[in-house]
Structure formats: C-alpha cells, structure tokens
Chain A
Amino acid sequence: MNARIRDMIITNFLAIAAGLVITGLMLIIIDINPVTVFRAAIITMLTDKYTMGDVLLKATPLIFTALAFAFTYKASLFNIGAQGQFYMGAIVAIAVSLKLEGRVPTVILLIIVCILTLLAGGMVGALIGFLKARYNANEFLVSMMSTYVVLSLNNYLLRTFLKETKGEYPQTDAITREAWIPNLLKGTRLHVGFLLAILVAVGIWVLLYKTPLGYRIRAVGSNAKAAELSGINSKKIYIITFFISGALAGMAGFTEVNGVQHMLIQNFNTGIGAAGLGIAILANANPIGIIFASILFGAISVIGNLMGRMPGVNVPSSIVDLMQGFVMIFVIIAYFFRAYNENRREKLKLQKAVGK
C-alpha cells in the first residue's frame, strides 16, 4: 500500500479513537461508565436495522453540505454559509411541495422541487461569488453573514406566509405522502435521497478531476494569478464555483424536507453546515472520502442519540456536539503528524540517494 494512504488511514483512525476516548472521559466526569454506554449504543446501532438506516439517513444531508464546503475549498475559496444555503433550499422545497402536491405526479413533483432547491441554494451561493468577483469582497465574511440573513428570512416566512393553517406555531403544514421522497429500505426511514447524495458525490468527483471546468477550478485554487495568465477567467470561476457549492447545500434542504421532516420548523437542523465543514476536512475535501466521513458523523450522532435515550443513565444529548468537536480537533492534529511523517520519508529518501 502507498505509504501516504496508509498514513492517512492510520492517523485518521487514531484521531477518531482519541476523540471518542476523550468524550468517554467527559462521561466519567459525570459518573457514567463510558465503556458500557458506548458498547450498548454501538451494538444497538449495528444490530438494529432501523437504527442502521438512521445512520445513513443522517449522513445524507451531511454529504451535501460537506461537498458544498469542499467544492469551494478546491478553488481556495471559503463557503462558510452552507447552513444558510441549506435553509434557502428548505424554504423553497416546502413552499413548492405544498403548492404542487396532489396536482402533479410524485416523480415530476420531486424532480421540480429538486431542481428549484438546487437553484435557490445556488443563487445564494452565486451572489456571494459575484460579490467576491465584482467587488473583491471577503467571501468568508459574506458567506458567514448570509446564513444569519437567510435564517431571519426563514423565521419571517414561517411566522407569516408559510405558517400552518392551524395558525398556532411558527411552522409549516406537513406535506402529504405524495410529496415524500420514496423509501429506500423497508423497516427504516432511509429514503432515495441517500442514493442521490452518493451519485452527486461521484458526479462532483468527476466534475473536479475529469472535466476542463474542474481543471480550471483547481487551477484557480492552486494559483489564481498563474491561472489568470494562462487565460482562465478567475472571476467567472468564483461565481460558478460558488453557484455549484450553494446548489449542493440547497439540495440538502430538499432531502431533509421531502425525505425526513416533511415540514419546516424553526431552528431546523442547526448544525449541519458546521458539521459539513468538519467532514470535508476529515476527508481532505475528497468527494468520495466525504461519503465515508459523512457516514461516520451520521454514526456519531446516532450513537449520541442512543446514549441520550438509554434508560437508567442520564447522558445529555449534546454529547453529539462534544464528540464531533473532539473528533474534528484530533483529525486536524492528525494532519500535522502526516506532514511530519511525509517530511521524514522525503529526508530518508534524500539521504539514501546522497549515500549511494
């Protein structure tokens, strides 16, 4: 096996283990035996079909938001606003589904909703890319702030135009079964959106590594000035990259609304933008790696929820965030050790060559 790939697998594995161990310590502090609860949760997860389905279900939107971050990262841009683009997608998904359900066949409805959410998220993204290209605005700040603006818009719409017909809570009506994304596996909540996510991830890989556009995006990412000199319009690339990135995050809104929640509530899935970023880093922004890293994060959140619901022990469900945070920190630290190993190998190679 290639030494670099071996290093990557070993260090990431150790990083995840370290993250879980330190989370275990946090449980010991509150007098809970981490080994027992972790074991019970993991066994349930692996043996119960419904729970296993939930792991993949949780992974689905994360694949999209992680791809959203990774895609701009390849162009050395930062889209920290995946959360907002996700909300934008979710708003459009619920609004369009409520309008169209019962009027058009399910398949056509889902295709229309999917395309519109993609465009909605993409427009938010493209706007950020445009501000970057036209006014040289710092995309990191603008994308970060855009999330809060879209969140306010979301809350406003839930209180007014999209409010449920009962008129009690700031949430929308539920959509009927006709607008649901079909189930993938009987006895679970897993829906076809998971397959869509995998297809999209593969598609993004192809786009990045096998097409001229992907080449241009990566060229701008590695050296925007050099790319410009070789005739690539980097401003156009900024806008395109941000559009695609936003569209990816928007699609998470589609799978979450039509596939899982079937309605829109306030404070909906607040952490998936940030988790997506963590996943993208864990996978070194590789689209295929993102699929696996998302499943890992899905598993973490399912394990955390299982522990939170375990009878007899009182584990706060926020253990999920703690676990994700620790795993992320250690994964970042793992990069340091990989670089260190890589350096040492290069040095050895040089010494050998000189010695000959």
Chain B
Amino acid sequence: MITNLLSRALMMSTPLLLGSIAEVIAERSGMMVTAIEGIFLMGAWGGFVGTYITGSVSIGILTAMLFGAIAAAIYGFVCIFLKQHQVVTGTAINILAAGFCTYFQRVLFGVPTSPLKINPLGKIPIPVLSDIPFIGTIFFEQNILTYIVYLIIPVSYFVLYHTAVGLMIRSTGENPEAVDVAGINVNKVRFSVVLVAGLFGGLAGAFYSVGYLGMFTNNIIGGRGWIAFAICFLGNWNPKGAAVGAVIFGFAEAIAIYMQSIGGGEYFPNELFIALPYILTIVLTVSRKNFNVPAQLGIPYIKGN
C-alpha cells in the first residue's frame, strides 16, 4: 500500500516538477511566467489532439510542447518586447488559452456522446533497477515523462549553476544592465528562456491528458499550473527546492486520490482532499520566511534607464 502511494506521489509530482523547473529557470532571468496555467492547458490539449489524430503518442507530446511554446511566445513577446505587465498579460493568455482549447475541441470533435479516449502512457519498468525491492517499484516503474524529469532536474541544476549560459540567465535576473554592458541582449535571453519554459510547461500539460487521464476536459489543469508557480516560490527559485516542493505536492495529490478510492469520504468530505494541495500552498506561503527573490523579477528591461 505504502509503495503504491509513494509511486503514485512521484507520478503526480512529475508535471508539477516540470512546471516549477520551467518557472525557476524563467524567473531567474526576471520573467514571472504567469501564463503557466494557460501553457499547461495548451500542452494538455495539444497532446490530446496530436495523439488522437495521428495515433502516435510521440507526435502528441511534440505537439504539446509546440503548443506550450506558442502560448509562451505570445506571452514573452508582449511582456518582453512591448514591456507590459507580467501578471496582467499572463491572465489574458490564460483566458485566451481556455477559450482556444474549448473552441477548437468543439470544432474538431463536436459534442461527442461519450468522452473521446486515447490510451494513456503505460508504465515502463526499467530492467534490473525496477527489481530493487521497495525503491525499484517507486522510482523505476513510471511512465516515460517521469524518467524525462529525472534527467531534467540535474541537467537544469547543472546548467543554471555551472555553465556560462546559467550565469547569463541568473545575471539577467539580478543585474540586466551589467549583462547589457557585456554585450549580451537582455531581451533575447529572456525570450529564449520563456520559450524553454513554454516547452517544459507544454510537456507538463501533456502529462495530464496523454500521460495520465487519456482524455481532455476543459478543467483538466484546474489550477495545477498555479501550484507549479507557487512551488517555484516555495522552493526559493532553486531546482533542488522545486524538486522537494513538487514531491510534497505530488504526495498531497496522491493522498487525495487514495482517500477518495478507499471511501475516506465517509469520515471526511472528499472536497477537503481536493482542496488539500491549495490549502498546503497557502500554509507554506505564509510560513516561508526567507526568500531569495531575483532582484529584477517582473520588471521589464528598458535600455538606457
């Protein structure tokens, strides 16, 4: 039972990890990706449509990443090059993404009598490793997206802290003038980073449609993009912190699903478990004291100011 629960927790933390790492990388450069909820949704829809139409999960996942990147590109263009407010622009993108997905879902598939289904990603046990008792089942019997995340955490940590590119990204968020003087185009750095966040976010969205449920509904994301956004804050803008945060939230979701499945509703209302991750976010936001906020977070760079 406990293995099952932990394995489920790791699975549910996959998209949150992807989303929060995307957010960490972007916010380190000074860009709050407040469009993350919309990017997740575009990814979920793109993944579903790509898979449903072509029958290939790989194409579906690529479509998801592409759609996530498109939403991020619009967001980045308005915020970086037109220097508009990030929270406001993000909200607009989120509304637009919701409208876009619902509209084209209806245009492509009409109003089907039974929900359209695709085969969700299967679990791939890794030979040898999955035979390790306890740990093997938890860590090495997951779907492909979780394995991708295993790679993304150390790679993003390494890139961010041990490479010139990482230094450039972090400096852009702390002191864009210095970056500019060094001959690097601040806006280009930020835009590229937002695009990467879009690719990751799209992949995260695909987890819900392609990787887990095997279908698309309008409220499939239901605020999880915002949770990823919160995890980035709570993890102190660090991939390691984000990883810990995402696993905690994944665990909360796994418990919610588990309690519902064993009929915990008799003692506690189901809604309490559904609200659990959100309550947890509020509690953690309140209790977190020291923040290492990137100095230029949310502030557009205007040359010669």
Asked if A pairs with B, the answer is yes
Complex CA distance for A242 and B82, rounded to whole angstroms: 30
Contact pattern, B 103-146, Cβ under 8 Å of A = 1, otherwise 0: 10011000000000000000000000000000000000000000
Question: Are the C-beta atoms of A332 and B275 separated by less than 8 Å?
Answer: no
Contacting chain B: which of A140-148, A176-184, A197-205, A220-228?
Answer: A140-148
Return B198 CB to nearest CB of chain A, in Å.
16
Question: Are the C-beta atoms of B92 and A329 separated by less than 8 Å?
Answer: yes
Question: Are the C-beta atoms of A80 and B286 separated by less than 8 Å?
Answer: no
Return A128 CB to nearest CB of chain B, in Å.
9
Return A3 CB to nearest CB of chain B, in Å.
21
Evaluate whether A148 and B275 lie within 8 angstroms (CB atoms) in the complex, with A131-B286, A329-B93 already known. yes
Contacting chain A: which of B46-54, B62-70, B174-182, B225-233?
Answer: B225-233
Question: Are the C-beta atoms of B233 and A156 separated by less than 8 Å?
Answer: no
Contact pattern, B 76-110, Cβ under 8 Å of A = 1, otherwise 0: 00100011110111011111111110110011000
Question: Are the C-beta atoms of A277 and B88 separated by less than 8 Å?
Answer: yes
Contacting chain A: which of B1-9, B22-30, B164-172, B276-284?
Answer: B276-284
The contact of B223 among A29, A148, A277, A281, by CB within 8 Å, is A148
In which size bucket is the chain A interface? Answer: 35 or more
Interface size on B, residues (CB 8 A): 41
A13 interface hit (Cβ, 8 Å): no
Question: Are the C-beta atoms of B103 and A26 separated by less than 8 Å?
Answer: yes
Q: Which of B78, B95, B226 has the most CB of A within 10 A?
A: B95
Question: Are the C-beta atoms of A137 and B96 separated by less than 8 Å?
Answer: no
Question: Are the C-beta atoms of A328 and B282 separated by less than 8 Å?
Answer: no
Of all A-B residue pairs in the complex, the 8 with the closest CB atoms, nearest first, are A325-B96, A321-B99, A152-B275, A322-B99, A318-B102, A328-B92, A316-B106, A336-B82
A116-170 CB contacts (< 8 Å) to partner B: 131, 135, 137-138, 140-142, 144-149, 151-153, 155-156, 159-160
Complex CA distance for A316 and B100, rounded to whole angstroms: 11
A268 interface hit (Cβ, 8 Å): no
Evaluate whether A321 and B94 lie within 8 angstroms (CB atoms) in the complex, with A153-B271, A332-B84 already known. no
Residues in A lying within 8 Å of B, measured CB to CB: 26, 29-30, 78, 80, 131, 135, 137-138, 140-142, 144-149, 151-153, 155-156, 159-160, 271, 274-275, 277-278, 281, 316, 318-326, 328-329, 332-333, 335-336, 339
Evaluate whether A321 and B285 lie within 8 angstroms (CB atoms) in the complex, with A138-B233, A148-B278, A149-B279 already known. no
Evaluate whether A320 and B99 lie within 8 angstroms (CB atoms) in the complex, with A135-B286, A141-B233, A329-B74 already known. yes
B272 interface hit (Cβ, 8 Å): yes
Q: Which residues of A contact B94 (CB under 8 A)?
A: 274
Q: Which residues of A contact B213 (CB under 8 A)?
A: none
Evaluate whether A152 and B274 lie within 8 angstroms (CB atoms) in the complex, with A274-B95, A321-B95, A332-B88 already known. yes
Q: Which residues of A contact B55 (CB under 8 A)?
A: none
Complex CA distance for A248 and B278, rounded to whole angstroms: 23
Return B68 CB to nearest CB of chain A, in Å.
17
Complex CA distance for A144 and B285, rounded to whole angstroms: 12
Return B38 CB to nearest CB of chain A, in Å.
9
Chain A at the B interface: SS class:
helix
A-B contact pairs, 18 of them (CB 8 A): A135-B286, A138-B233, A141-B230, A141-B281, A145-B281, A145-B282, A149-B282, A153-B271, A274-B91, A277-B88, A319-B99, A321-B99, A322-B99, A323-B99, A325-B97, A329-B78, A333-B84, A335-B84
Chain B at the A interface: SS class:
helix
Question: Are the C-beta atoms of A322 and B271 separated by less than 8 Å?
Answer: no
Return B213 CB to nearest CB of chain A, in Å.
19
The contact of A78 among B84, B87, B272, B286, by CB within 8 Å, is B87
Q: Which of A152, A278, A319, A323 has the most CB of B within 10 A?
A: A152
Question: Are the C-beta atoms of B100 and A322 separated by less than 8 Å?
Answer: yes
The contact of B107 among A160, A316, A326, A332, by CB within 8 Å, is A316
Q: Which of B91, B226, B233, B281 has the most CB of A within 10 A?
A: B91
Residue of B nearest to A155 (CB): B271
Complex CA distance for A326 and B103, rounded to whole angstroms: 13
Question: Are the C-beta atoms of A319 and B78 separated by less than 8 Å?
Answer: no
Contact pattern, B 259-289, Cβ under 8 Å of A = 1, otherwise 0: 0000000000101101100110110011100
Complex CA distance for A131 and B286, rounded to whole angstroms: 7
Evaluate whether A333 and B226 lie within 8 angstroms (CB atoms) in the complex, with A318-B103, A328-B92 already known. no
The contact of A278 among B92, B107, B222, B271, by CB within 8 Å, is B92
Question: Are the C-beta atoms of A316 and B103 separated by less than 8 Å?
Answer: yes
Evaluate whether A278 and B91 lie within 8 angstroms (CB atoms) in the complex, with A145-B282, A155-B271 already known. yes
Residue of B nearest to A146 (CB): B282
Q: Which residues of A contact B222 (CB under 8 A)?
A: 148
Q: Which residues of A contact B282 (CB under 8 A)?
A: 131, 137, 141-142, 145-146, 149
Return A278 CB to nearest CB of chain B, in Å.
6
Residue of A nearest to B222 (CB): A148
Complex CA distance for A142 and B287, rounded to whole angstroms: 12
Q: Which residues of B contact A155 (CB under 8 A)?
A: 271
Question: Are the C-beta atoms of A333 and B272 separated by less than 8 Å?
Answer: no
Q: Which residues of B contact A159 (CB under 8 A)?
A: 269, 271
Q: Which residues of A contact B230 (CB under 8 A)?
A: 141, 145
